Amino acid sequence: KGLINYTAKDSTFSVKFAPRIQARFNSNWDYNGEDYDDAELNFLIRRARLKFSGFAYSPKLKYKIELGLSNRDVSGANDFNRNTPRYILDAVIMWNFYENFELWAGQTKLPGNVERVVSSANLQLIDRSLLNSSFNIDRDVGVQLRHFTHLGGDFIMKEKLAISQGEGRNVTEGNEGGLQYTGRLEFLPFGNFKSKGDYSQGDLKREDTPKLMVGLTYDYNQDAVKTRSNLGSYMELEDGSLYETNITTFFADAMFKYKGFAFMGEYANRDADAPVAINADGTETGDIVRVGDAFNTQISYLFQSNYELTTRYTSLKFDNITGREAQNQYTLGASRYIVGHKLKIQADVSYSTLGGEADNIMLRTGFDLHF
Amino acid sequence: KGLINYTAKDSTFSVKFAPRIQARFNSNWDYNGEDYDDAELNFLIRRARLKFSGFAYSPKLKYKIELGLSNRDVSGANDFNRNTPRYILDAVIMWNFYENFELWAGQTKLPGNVERVVSSANLQLIDRSLLNSSFNIDRDVGVQLRHFTHLGGDFIMKEKLAISQGEGRNVTEGNEGGLQYTGRLEFLPFGNFKSKGDYSQGDLKREDTPKLMVGLTYDYNQDAVKTRSNLGSYMELEDGSLYETNITTFFADAMFKYKGFAFMGEYANRDADAPVAINADGTETGDIVRVGDAFNTQISYLFQSNYELTTRYTSLKFDNITGREAQNQYTLGASRYIVGHKLKIQADVSYSTLGGEADNIMLRTGFDLHF
Amino acid sequence: KGLINYTAKDSTFSVKFAPRIQARFNSNWDYNGEDYDDAELNFLIRRARLKFSGFAYSPKLKYKIELGLSNRDVSGANDFNRNTPRYILDAVIMWNFYENFELWAGQTKLPGNVERVVSSANLQLIDRSLLNSSFNIDRDVGVQLRHFTHLGGDFIMKEKLAISQGEGRNVTEGNEGGLQYTGRLEFLPFGNFKSKGDYSQGDLKREDTPKLMVGLTYDYNQDAVKTRSNLGSYMELEDGSLYETNITTFFADAMFKYKGFAFMGEYANRDADAPVAINADGTETGDIVRVGDAFNTQISYLFQSNYELTTRYTSLKFDNITGREAQNQYTLGASRYIVGHKLKIQADVSYSTLGGEADNIMLRTGFDLHF
């Protein structure tokens, strides 16, 4: 695994280097109320990444550095990161300091919804769902404490706690508002999946016995300053300062796999103490925390030929205060895994509604090459 | 070749990693009508690149990722790439799916003029010609079909077809206007050059027998929105939309090498259906497609000492409608190849005229280090 | 040393690849005249770098490429670098062309104050001093000539000369004003330090015999256009051109190490012919060259347990004309070197005064991982 995968002869360190490309050729037809418009095409290198991982000085001290190079990955320059592109995705060390405990420090994904934490290298459709776009809690800088417990038989429980800055990745100018606190509990009643399959989509390992992971995440972003907790826009006030409100995000999700069949389901809910940003004089700024809830489920079957069919249904409802209409999306996808997730060709077609009306049809094709 | 050059023991992949630096120390004297002004100096890292290439899972599936890191390479942030720097030069897979056929997909150079497709690592002067600056069709995202035919004896014909988005590299926001279609035919009557010498300048391999490549490219960019086909500025209209016109670019070029002597010649022509961009109300926006034609020729001889002398003559004529005057440039260059193109020191001096009048004198020196 | 450290079997080149991460968790309390404000937190990836170095084609020709990827490293887009991020820190070749002589060409650090030239990987406190922030001469593009002389016994003298563009790293648009000339002399009366310890902080090698390096740098930036010689802001005039004045910077510094004890001291002085930038009509633009002088000293002891205590005292005085008040900073730091500078955990606390009044207290913690 990895393009370079090396362990020093004296076992003082190891390194795995894994580049990744994802090319996408998408077509989109918007519904104008009477008819579908002409196709809008979009050919792009969606992701181009370099990942370095391994252990340093002791197998108990692991590290991960992941760099994003595509224009979409690096976008997001603003006053809080010195108006610079954002290459660094992960830069984290993971220290197994005692028995089942690990301490993580640096920038990496928070223990949020399973769909988000699954690497973009291991998706079974062309991209993640709309639930994820609106509700995920992404990456942040801080520390995490991770532990797992054997509950008897194969039953495993995993506990993940994080304290982080609360404004997402690649901030240089310091913390705004309060910190972000995340807790996640995962239950694996039938033991671990093969090859960390709880965090990879599709049952590529064709589990012999049923495997299940059920997870619950509770996230509290104190005095949050962005519209989607640690993501979205900064809520700027007239006087140049930032609007602050406590935002909570809750996820319940599950991954199930058995003999080529895979199910992933997620529920997300976001709430805020005072979701509508207001200036000191009480006038609204126009920024509103994206509060609401959403449901996403996807079911797939992997044929012996390594073709996979996947269906996905996603439903989002936002609180009226947001002025955002409900969205539904129905997706049917096919993947041909040539070398598992490392070399695959994918296509999917989605039909979306907005406020109950037809909105658009999207056809996407792409290939992935990683090592 | 390459700083790292590794094939997995089980032959499932290979990787060649090749960094590259080009430093430049240039002086420029502008002619002010009566005299030459004081020298303007420019010391810079012109290119700093990382290239990964090899095969993945089968020798029939090759990949190439090339990243540009110098400030000139990454410049070009705009609304169509999320205002981000442009690191990715190439991210492409090349699949030899059947006999002499290859399918390419991703972002890479289009099969345009030979001078452009020669890697910047393999130039015999400090930089490419003015013909190339004004007329080349660079890189784009899309697919290419490539094939070669043995015509009898050593005679080889290569056919290259591309369909691409038509706005150049690193676009994230989708296609504007129509697609771009490129076809190129190459004739090699005396067989292949040594070490792919048809796409490397200077006869460093000192061909024992004459070698010739003659190429013809026809490129049609339907509803193009930029002033130089898929390069140049976006032609924006008052209403925020883009002006669209069909642009055709034609190249005829040749490379010849024999016993240290090398010749490269190119002719380029660009035409557009309606080159002057106009708003809906008929007023001109100021953007004009750079239509015209150009000729470039360079001749070199490599001495036994691995010193090379090169002369270049470039002539550009633009259609009157562009308001651009004719340019001529005469260049004399010397290269000392210490380890072929991988470690070389170069210098060249150019005299340019604009509209028939003296314009400037430019002295450039530099070194290249690549692996 | 290095994550990858490879010499080709035919000894035609070598490469060392060394990634680096530095994470920082800082707190800052500003003094508001009566009391300290609430803590401002700042969690960030301060540095994330990739370094390639080795020799090419002959051990006499060395190269170094260092790339900065953190948002702080890449910041600094402006009109003189095509408004692009600045990844390239070093891109330089070093050629030992004759006996004790080396010729350097490309972009790298100038031979300035020792604190600056010590790699950020080898610092004993969380970051460099305020002297360095205000007075260092950083990196530039140009050439350097380096030589060393055996003066008898162990006594070594090193001579370093540089000619560079004078506006710092990653400029693409050419030289402004005149060139920058730097000369540095170093005296090592007791011979070389172990493992290049004169350019690494803390006596991690526990020198058996006293080792001393005393250095003197004189830097003349002719017609400089930035407020801190080749760093700081461009001094723009109303008419769009740049204000130019000759700036000199002088450093005297010393490094001493013996049995775990280390001392580093520096004095810096900056002067300018006409430090206040004025327009053609004599009005002041607001830009003023940061003229003044400063003193920095740090003393440390490394215990057998590889814990180190460091104290630092920094004092800056600016000429009245600058309108900047004097700064003093007292720092106490502790480092735990797990694998030397390569894996360390650090903390420091600083008390600062501005114009003689309490200004702030800063607590910083962080870890470094490099290879």
Instruction: Characterize A129-138 residue by residue with b for buried, 16 or more Cβ atoms within 10 angstroms of its Cβ, and e for exposed.
Output: bbbbbbbbbb
The three-class DSSP label of residue A121 is helix
Cβ neighbours of B91 in A, within 8 Å: 21, 23, 45, 48
Examine the pLDDT at A5 and tell me if it is beyond 90.
no
Mean confidence (pLDDT) of chain C: 95
Instruction: Please report which helix (H) or strand (E) contains residue C64, including its range.
Output: strand C58-68
- Pairwise CB contact (< 8 Å): B41 & C65: no
Tell me how far CA of residue A10 lies from CA of A7, A13, A60, B115, C356, in angstroms: 8, 8, 15, 49, 54
- Per-residue pLDDT tens digits for C90-100: 999 999 999 99
Is the CB of residue C74 less than 8 Å away from at least one CB of chain A? yes
pLDDT at A168: 96
Instruction: Find residue A27's DSSP bridge partners.
Output: A41, A363
CB contact at 8 A, B233 and B243: no
Interatomic CA distance for residues B159 and B147, integer angstroms: 5
pLDDT at A284: 96
Mean pLDDT, residues A329-348: 96
Other residues' Cβ atoms within 10 Å of the Cβ of residue B305? 8
pLDDT at B212: 98
Interatomic CA distance for residues C1 and B360, integer angstroms: 50
pLDDT at B301: 98
Give the β-pairing of A292-302 and A261-272: antiparallel
Mean pLDDT, residues C320-335: 97
State the nearest Cα–Cα gap between C29 and chain A, in angstroms: 13
- Per-residue pLDDT tens digits for B260-273: 999 999 999 999 99
pLDDT at C5: 81
Interatomic CA distance for residues C191 and C213, integer angstroms: 9
Mean pLDDT, residues B271-288: 96
CB contact at 8 A, C51 and C69: no
- Pairwise CB contact (< 8 Å): B71 & C170: yes
Tokens describing residue B294? 């150009």
Query: What structural domains and CATH numbers belong to chain B?
Result: 4-370 (2.40.160.10)
Report the residue from B63, B81, B84 with minimal CB separation from A369: B63
pLDDT at C9: 79
Tokens describing residue C275? 């430090």
Q: Residue A33: which pLDDT band, with cuts at 50, 70 and 90?
A: confident
CB contact at 8 A, A149 and A232: no
CB contact at 8 A, C67 and C150: no
Cβ neighbours of C173 in B, within 8 Å: 42
Is the CB of residue B334 less than 8 Å away from at least one CB of chain C? no
- For residue A74, which amino acid is it? V
Cβ neighbours of A72 in B, within 8 Å: 82, 172
Mean pLDDT, residues C103-121: 97
- Per-residue pLDDT tens digits for A197-253: 999 999 999 999 999 999 999 999 999 999 999 999 999 999 999 999 999 999 999
Examine the pLDDT at B97 and tell me if it is beyond 80.
yes
Mean pLDDT, residues A331-336: 98
In this structure, chain A runs to a length of: 371
- Per-residue pLDDT tens digits for C151-176: 999 999 999 999 999 999 999 999 99
Mean confidence (pLDDT) of chain B: 95
Q: Residue C271: which pLDDT band, with cuts at 50, 70 and 90?
A: very high
Report the residue from C57, C86, C175 with minimal CB separation from B343: C57
Q: Residue A12: which pLDDT band, with cuts at 50, 70 and 90?
A: confident
Q: Of the ranges A303-312, A346-355, C12-21, which one carries the lowest mean pLDDT score? A: C12-21
Mean confidence (pLDDT) of chain A: 95
Instruction: Please report which helix (H) or strand (E) contains residue C22, including its range.
Output: strand C14-30
User: Looking at this predicted complex, what is its ipTM?
Assistant: 0.91
Examine the pLDDT at C57 and tell me if it is beyond 90.
no
Other residues' Cβ atoms within 10 Å of the Cβ of residue A195? 11
Examine the pLDDT at B175 and tell me if it is beyond 80.
yes
Interatomic CA distance for residues B43 and C171, integer angstroms: 8
Tokens describing residue B252? 């005829």
Q: Residue A11: which pLDDT band, with cuts at 50, 70 and 90?
A: confident
In angstroms and rounded to an integer, the radius of gyration of the C-alpha atoms of chain A is 21
Cβ neighbours of B44 in C, within 8 Å: 141, 171-172, 174
- Per-residue pLDDT tens digits for B187-197: 999 999 999 99
Examine the pLDDT at A57 and tell me if it is beyond 90.
no
State the nearest Cα–Cα gap between C85 and chain A, in angstroms: 6
Q: Of the ranges A345-349, B149-153, C14-18, which one carries the lowest mean pLDDT score? A: C14-18
Interatomic CA distance for residues B226 and A324, integer angstroms: 36
- For residue A146, which amino acid is it? R
Instruction: Please report which helix (H) or strand (E) contains residue C350, including its range.
Output: strand C343-354
Chains A, B: CB contacts under 8 A, how many?
A: 91
Q: Which of C41, C45, C87, C343 to mutate to test the interface with A (most CBs of A within 10 A)?
A: C45
The three-class DSSP label of residue C42 is strand
Interatomic CA distance for residues A190 and A210, integer angstroms: 7
Mean pLDDT, residues A342-362: 96
